[in-house]
A and B are shown apart, each in its own frame.
Chain A
Amino acid sequence: MIRLQSLRKITQRRDTSLIILIVLLLAVVTMRAPGFVSADNIQRIVNDTSILVMVSLGQFFVILAGGIDLSVGSVIGLSGMAAAMTNQYYPGIPAVVVLLIGVGVGLVLGLINGVVVAYGKVPAIITTLGTLSIYRGLTFVLSKGQWVTAHEMTDSYMRLPHGNLFGISNLIWWGVLVSVLMFYFSGYTRRGREIYAIGGNKVAAKFVGVSEQKIYMIIFTLSGMLGGLAGVLWTSRYAAAVNETASGFELQTVAACVIGGVSIAGGSGAVPGVILGALFLGIINNALPVINLSPFYQLFIQGAIVLGAMLINTVSERRREQELLKGRQR
């Protein structure tokens, strides 16, 4: 009985239950395809998922504050295109500066979202639905519909994600860096904690002097910056900047958050959960072809997982409430 309870305690925590789930998933896939859990392949999966992790963390803070950023896919597209074209037309500019330009473009785009939501009082879902189209449209305007391809990019630009340090690819290091920074931000800074306050109870947050506007500005700008970084890394990684880069990617970031236990109503969730949620999605995406499941099933399965995660969230919440009620009767 005691053991059963501690098991339940473990599964009640989203991060630990996700780790168990990921291990189970890896075990099942390995039975069908023995090479799946090799060090090489794991690194490949993590590498593939790094961008999703970064952008999902940006999305996480927006959702945590009670909003949603549907424009991230377009932010990645536009800032990626801007960076790639800078690299194409001014090959002399160092790659790091190009990277900063990409992040800067993302910052501005995020800032625009933030201003409209914070000061224009337009709901986040509407604002970013609008900018989703606007930013994507601007990408086409900027590129005049043209692509930037591998031979138009400099080597140093393409090394941004592809190089490696201690045998681990730069892209993974970027993901790790962002994860660590965001973990610190969410847990150990005042602003980070205040995001929880805004999402948890806006009125109460105001009463203790937390500025809703300031928080909205911070989270959308942050999400934009991470989108900008992702845009640069995306175009350099695939050595191509197309107009449709990361189209629909916003839904994957939302999915990673939901799977990671972030409440879509705001106020609850944590960085480790989001990282695990993104990795879980990454493993699924990589595993499906390996076990000979048609890629046509991918979207279907992703959607089913998101719905399943949502159901688990609500059911466990209801059970907790009932236990609280019973506790009161005693």
Chain B
Amino acid sequence: MSETILEIKQLTKYFPGIKALDGVHLTVRTGEVHALIGENGAGKSTLVKILTGVYTLTSGEVLLDGKPLVCRNALEAQACGIAAIHQEASMFPELSVTENIYMGHHIIHPKTKRVDWATMRKETQTLLDSLELEIDCNTLVKNLGVAQRHMVEIAKALSLNARIVIMDEPTSALSLREVEDLYKIVRKLKDDGKAIIFISHKFDEIFEICDYFTILRDGRYIGEGLVKESSVDAMVNMMVGRSLDQMYPKKEVKIGRPVLEVQQLAQTGYFQDVSFTLHAGEILGFFGLIGAGRSEVMRTLFGIDSRSHGTVLLDGKEIHIRKPSEAMGYGIAFVPEDRQSQGVILEMSIAKNITLPQIDALSRYGITHKKRELEVTETFGEKMEIRAAGWHVDADTLSGGNQQKVVLAKWIATNPRILILDEPTKGIDVATKAAVHQFVSEMAAEGMAVLLISSELPEVLGMSDRIIVMHEGALTAEFSRDEATSDSVIKAATGHTAGNGGEQ
């Protein structure tokens, strides 16, 4: 029923000193959602960049409809019918949906020789309607949500007559409901005979939406198969080359006495009436949809945003945190979600990054003590298993996973009593994830109290002693480790709690 549209054989790509891809195979058929799986650094991005004309291959063959594919840039790739959906990066926020779709190839009216807005708007609306998107073509993109932007990106690819659509971790910034909408579109594309290359770290997604998979490891082709004939264990095995027996190495810890008590905390417009207690040695998970207010609660606790109401008790004494430095003074550390813009300073060395929060303690007369800086870095860098050429190389030379480890090491080096983690494993590969989980678990065992925000259900379920669920700025449920199930937690997160079931 489906025919091969793209065939990659023996593809090899060398960068100076590195073999990024080594004899990779990939066969994509029409009407297929093809999962491309691999850890960070496995070569997925390189492969995509070759397909979209950013890189040229060193050796091997890329056949489109049986003919060699030659494209030297994204434009030529588009002309060949290959479109990559980038994560937000390729939008013009200040311009309308219509123009975002037509930028670079505006329709020019044949007679008047001017930009033909009427036709462009009509075509765009037809396209949006055909995807069953409730988006007006005149809306400025900056007024769209993340998910809708994504849909517009897809619409754009279709307007260019894309036959192969590449989606690189399309769900990473979407809430559960938005992911459902995305799936709907992906299925529609599939029915229309498009081929979709779907890059993801999340197995539940792969099993939900993908038909076929190809696995890469260290730039090499490892295997392929039908998704429904495989299993998570088998895929993980192929991805990492070993089985991860313990995906969530949660240690049994004796929960200590209350450390942090939050009472009726509120910030107008974001969340209200948030109360909870955090104990020593406890990992308290926060689950909810994007926009539920979890990050805002943590930012308020840490003194980044100001609260409009509520009290915070530390060891039973009321404290008033007005700015992050005060929070750090009380032994609270905050690892933010967006490590690129809020966590790591890319132009600084690993050592400088890790020791930044305690730069005063490591300095005398304003001059840093090099040896002690290195000692601290070594202790925590090795603990976190950061893989780098040296402690003095700049952070931007590291992979995403290792950057995340640097951020973690940096805060843990301050020896905090309370650690706030906001999406600590977002967008990093399985092995790094496991290392982070292992580490967090160990820290809790040593008596640290952890607040863990995560949008990945397995992570919250697997790591937390207790789970608090938020929905639209309010706490909707609390579960102990034993009580919590995927179903009950998701229901609470979407507002389907007892009493008001049926409400969105």
Contacts and interface: CB of A to CB of B under 8 A. Distances in A.
A91 interface: no
B94 interface: yes
Interface string B100-135: 000111101000001101000000000000000000
A184 B473 CA distance: 47
Given A187-B115, A326-B269, A196 B89 contact: no
A271 to B, nearest CB: 14
Contacts of B142: 320, 324
Interface in A277-330: 320, 322, 324-330
A169 interface: no
A4 interface: no
Contacts of A231: none
Interface string B293-331: 100000000000000000000000000000000000000
B291 A193 contact: no
A223 B24 CA distance: 52
Nearest to B145: A328
B interface majority secondary structure: loop
Contacts of B75: 207-209
B95 interface: yes
Interface stretch (A153-161, A197-205, A246-254): A197-205
B89 A203 contact: yes
A200 B269 contact: no
B94 A268 contact: yes
Name the residue in B92, B93, B145, B269 with the highest tally of chain A Cβ atoms < 10 Å from its Cβ: B92
Given A189-B114, A193-B115, 19 more contacts: A188-B115, A193-B99, A197-B103, A200-B92, A200-B94, A203-B89, A204-B90, A204-B92, A207-B75, A207-B86, A208-B75, A208-B103, A209-B104, A267-B93, A267-B95, A325-B270, A328-B175, A328-B291, A329-B473
A205 B92 CA distance: 8
B106 A204 contact: no
Q: Which 9 interchain pairs have the tightest Cβ spacing?
A: A208-B104, A268-B94, A188-B114, A200-B92, A204-B90, A328-B291, A267-B94, A209-B75, A209-B104
Interface in B58-95: 74-75, 86, 89-95
A267 B92 contact: yes
A174 B90 CA distance: 39
A31 to B, nearest CB: 39
Interface of A: 184, 187-190, 193-194, 196-197, 200-201, 203-205, 207-210, 263, 267-268, 320, 322, 324-330
A207 B115 contact: no
Contact of B91 (A184, A204, A328): A204
A200 B292 contact: no
Contact of A210 (B103, B292, B293): B103
13 contacts: A188-B114, A188-B117, A193-B106, A194-B104, A197-B92, A200-B94, A200-B95, A201-B91, A205-B104, A208-B75, A208-B105, A320-B143, A327-B145
B93 A324 contact: no
B282 interface: no
Given A184-B114, A190-B106, A209-B75, A324 B145 contact: yes
B143 A324 contact: yes
B115 A189 contact: yes
Contacts of A263: 94
Given A188-B114, A193-B115, A329 B92 contact: no
A329 B93 contact: no
A257 to B, nearest CB: 15
A214 to B, nearest CB: 12
Contacts of A196: 92, 94-95, 99
B32 interface: no
Contact of B108 (A190, A327, A328): A190
B99 A325 contact: no
A322 B270 CA distance: 9
A205 B175 CA distance: 28
Contacts of B94: 196, 200, 263, 267-268
A325 B269 CA distance: 9
B290 interface: yes
B423 interface: no
B104 A329 contact: no
Contacts of B224: none
B472 interface: yes
A203 B90 contact: yes
B383 to A, nearest CB: 37
A266 to B, nearest CB: 9
A207 B104 CA distance: 9
Contacts of A193: 99, 103, 106, 115
B337 to A, nearest CB: 15
B138 to A, nearest CB: 14
* Max count, chain A CB within 10 A of own CB: residue among B90, B105, B175: B90
A25 B117 CA distance: 36
A256 B143 CA distance: 26
Contacts of A200: 92-95
B201 to A, nearest CB: 24
Interface string B179-203: 0000000000000000000000000
A327 B115 CA distance: 33
A212 to B, nearest CB: 13
A201 B93 contact: yes
Contacts of B270: 325
